[in-house]
Amino acid sequence: MPQTTSPSRLPTASLAGYPATVIHVRCAVASARRVVVLVATLAVATPALARVPAKVCRETCPGLVAQECAGLRKKKLKRCRAKIIRRCRRGTLVCGATTTTLPIAPGCPVTFVVSDPYPGGTDQTVAIADVNRDAKRDVVLGANGAVMVRLGNGDGTLGPLAGYDPGGDVRGVAIADVTGDGSPDIVAANFMDAPPPTGPSTVVNASVLPNLGNGTFGQAVPYFVGTRDFHDVVAADFNGDQKPDLAVATQPSVVVLLNDGNGAFGAAGELPVDTIGRAVAAADLNGDGKLDLAATKGGPPGGNGAVAIFLGDGTGGFGSPVSYEVGRFPYSIVAGDVNGDGTVDLATANNNSTDMSVLIGNGNGTFAASVTYDAGGLPTSLAGGDFDGNARLDFVISAGPNATVGRFMNLGDGTFAAVVPTFTAGSAALASGDLDGDGKADVASATALGLRVLLSRCQ
């Protein structure tokens, strides 16, 4: 049996900025060597995604499960148990003789180092992912008539621009292995003019650009979505077959296309949103292990917008929408755990009310009333990531005069400090991911004038 150790015997450098609760659990169950290696690895890689091993939580949490889930049966008992295990794995709950929720370690004061612009700009959409499987994050951009890729060098710099024809003007991109060959493909939601008189003036497609295995991409394969305006696309497994499906935000519905298992997509199904919708996110909002959808709604003229929640049934179907009010005309949406309770929360960037709304999830698919934060201008894009290393979700937003990129830093409890302007970029599309391998999220800011990389740094 490995000898256990206390936190005081570990090198402090390997623990810097790491959640104290996660360290506490690991120190109680692992040897000194294993703790040092595991913590150092996660601190360098992705501390925002660090998890206590599931086995540890299953072995130490039965007492709390029996106490908190007493009297529940079948599905409700399973959900209750799963929520406790998630909180344990996130490090916000320590199970054992002294079960308690511990405070999160404070993050460092953050600044961003802004790169010179890379040529090949667009203000439509941008994503960060490792498309060539070299453990370095790359940047994918969608533009009018093109998908563009810059491979990352792992140090925050990017390689040459490669362009691909998606078959139309792109408004949304998603990265996922839809063909099942182990390499992430690009899905581009795009539109094109249909040649008269054969059809409507606009045809919307979700085009799959297959990865050739090395971060280059083959000819786009289009799948028909509809004939209405659209803005966003997500790829996620909605029917539990381990194959990514697609959801496209259109006006006035969310269109779902299910993967046939071979990387092709069947006929589209529609989920009514009723008003102008621009953004959609996929996440397990009620803790039942099945992915749900959250879609933005524009709202009546002069009135607030909303987020429509569609709970998934695990077979590719969704229930009737339930709406939660946010600011006016939400342009962008992010799903993630902002307060560390193990449940998914939502945030929207609201263009006409010049603010960000945060909806705290109750863990059962419902949400508390939204809390708003002034963005300082008309926001068009929102991205989330842990920029200061405290394992809490922060946000960057494109808003303000001349579309200033600003940051909302999480105070640790799911509330946020006032927005801090970073730099003026012009109208920008934003994405977040670790581009330099230091374990903290960075930002890709895409404008019509070029692409900039914002590297997060502790002051």
pLDDT in tens, the chain (459 residues): 433 333 332 222 322 333 333 323 333 333 332 333 333 322 333 333 345 677 677 767 776 676 677 767 777 778 777 888 777 776 656 565 434 444 555 678 999 999 999 998 787 899 999 999 999 999 999 998 999 999 999 999 999 999 999 999 999 999 999 999 999 999 999 987 555 555 555 778 999 999 999 999 999 999 999 887 778 999 999 999 999 999 999 888 999 999 999 999 988 899 988 777 789 999 999 999 999 999 999 888 888 999 999 999 999 999 999 999 999 999 999 999 999 999 999 999 999 999 999 999 999 999 999 999 999 899 999 999 999 988 899 999 998 667 789 999 999 899 999 999 988 777 789 999 999 999 999 999 998 889 999 999 998
Residues 293/247, Cβ–Cβ less than 8 Å: yes
Residues of 427-453 as b/e, b for ≥16 C-beta within 10 angstroms? Answer: bbbbbbbbbbbbbbbbbbbbbeebbbb
Own/partner pairs for 79-86, CB < 8 Å, 24+ apart?
79/286, 79/287, 79/288, 79/363, 79/364, 82/287, 82/289, 83/287, 83/342, 83/343, 83/363, 84/57, 84/342, 85/54, 85/57, 85/58, 85/61, 86/287, 86/342, 86/343
Q: Which residues contact 271 (CB under 8 A, 6 or more apart)?
A: 253, 254, 255, 256, 293, 295, 310, 318, 321
**Amino acid identity, position 296:** T
Residue 441 and residue 431: Cα distance in Å, rounded?
10
Distance CA 49, CA 317 (A): 29
Residues written for the chain: 459
Alpha helices in 8-147 (DSSP H): 20-29, 32-44, 54-60, 62-68, 74-90
Element containing residue 441 per DSSP (H, E): none
SS3 category, 170: strand
Q: What is the greatest pairwise CA distance in the chain?
A: 77
Phi, psi of 62 (to 5 degrees): -55, -35
Q: Which one-letter amino acid corresponds to residue 366?
A: T
Nearest residue to 3 (alpha-carbon basis) of 26, 33, 36: 33
Cα(327)–Cα(342) distance, rounded to whole angstroms? Answer: 25
In sequence order, the β-bridge partners of residue 283 are: 292
